[in-house]
């Protein structure tokens, strides 16, 4: 039987701090006991949608330790819509490059925020014109290429996301935190985020080459 992983250490509800977190509709982050994500546990996040015309950006928040044994993280994602329809998608997150350098920031624990694309569901994705060549979610994007970083929810009401680790191990070691952020789409802010991530990747590449 699957067990819902409720709050075991930290739950951030951004609705409580609107002045500090403008545009954030919902954020929930769960801390795993002993930095282990068990296969029979899942992270459940609920979001209430009132405006179906509004675009949002969805982020996955991951904190892994340097003891994590893999380059990537596979997830099964279940979505329950307001009309009680259920959908399942699979997503892959890269936490390190091919040389073993972590994408996340920090010391022993690495924090990474990843654009969440739940494509095989009724969520409606809108495209953003990328102003310069860059990397988004580990994908090389050419100048003026369009990339889906914004989403509309087609119905009003409650949406439930359930995230399961899909790494074929009963106890996935090295994952400390996991969560979801739903934020009103802000193209200027997204472009700044992409620039920051691109700058970090260039720095990592220079360090790898010993420059």
The enclosing domain of 167 has a CATH number of 2.60.120
CA dihedral 70, 43, 150, 139 (to 10 degrees): 10
Give the confidence band of 204 by pLDDT, cuts at 50, 70, 90.
low
Asked whether residue 168 is assigned to any structural domain, the reply reads yes
pLDDT at 13 over 50: no
Give the number of C-alpha atoms closer than 13 A to the C-alpha of residue 159, restricted to the C-beta side: 25
Asked whether residue 135 is assigned to any structural domain, the reply reads no
Asked whether residue 131 is assigned to any structural domain, the reply reads no
- Between CA 11 and CA 151, with CA 2 as vertex, the angle to 5 degrees is 55
- Between CA 161 and CA 128, with CA 159 as vertex, the angle to 5 degrees is 80
Asked whether residue 69 is assigned to any structural domain, the reply reads yes
Task: Name the average pLDDT for the chain.
Answer: 80
Q: What's the domain count of the chain?
A: 1
CB atoms within 10 A of CB 127: 11
Phi, psi of 207 (to 5 degrees): -65, -40
Burial class (CB in 10 A: 0-12, 13-18, 19+), 188: exposed
**What b/e sequence results for 77-104 when a residue is b if at least 16 CB atoms lie within 10 Å of its CB, and e otherwise?**
bbbbbeeeeeeebebebbbbeeeeebbb
pLDDT tens for each residue of 145-176: 445 678 899 999 999 999 999 999 999 999 99
Q: Where are the alpha helices (DSSP H) in the chain?
A: 187-209
Residues in the chain: 211
pLDDT at 86 over 80: yes
pLDDT at 10 over 50: no
Asked whether residue 10 is assigned to any structural domain, the reply reads yes
How is residue 129 written in tokens?
């014109």
* Structural domain that includes position 159: 3-121+153-183
Asked whether residue 31 is assigned to any structural domain, the reply reads yes
Q: Against a cut of 0.85, is the pTM above it?
A: no
Give the confidence band of 136 by pLDDT, cuts at 50, 70, 90.
low
Asked whether residue 127 is assigned to any structural domain, the reply reads no
């Amino acid at each position: 039987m699957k067990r819902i992983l409720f709050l075991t250490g930290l739950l951030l509800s951004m609705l409580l701090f609107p002045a500090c977190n403008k545009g954030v509709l919902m954020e929930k982050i769960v801390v795993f006991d002993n930095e282990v994500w068990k296969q029979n546990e899942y992270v459940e996040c609920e979001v209430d949608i009132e405006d179906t015309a509004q675009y949002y950006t969805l982020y996955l928040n991951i904190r892994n330790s340097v003891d994590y044994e893999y380059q990537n993280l596979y997830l099964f994602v279940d979505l329950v819509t307001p009309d009680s329809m259920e959908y399942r998608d699979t997503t892959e997150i890269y936490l390190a490059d091919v040389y073993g350098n972590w994408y996340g920031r920090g010391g022993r624990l690495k924090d990474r925020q990843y654009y969440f694309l739940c494509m095989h569901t009724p969520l409606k994705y809108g495209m953003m014109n990328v102003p310069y060549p860059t990397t988004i979610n580990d994908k090389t994007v050419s100048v003026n290429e369009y990339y889906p970083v914004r989403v509309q929810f087609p119905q009003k009401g409650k949406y439930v996301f359930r995230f399961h680790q899909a790494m074929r191990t009963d106890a996935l070691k090295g994952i400390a935190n996991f969560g979801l952020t739903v934020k009103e789409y802000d193209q200027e802010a997204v472009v700044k985020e992409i620039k920051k991530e691109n700058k970090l990747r260039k720095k990592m590449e220079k360090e790898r080459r010993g420059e």
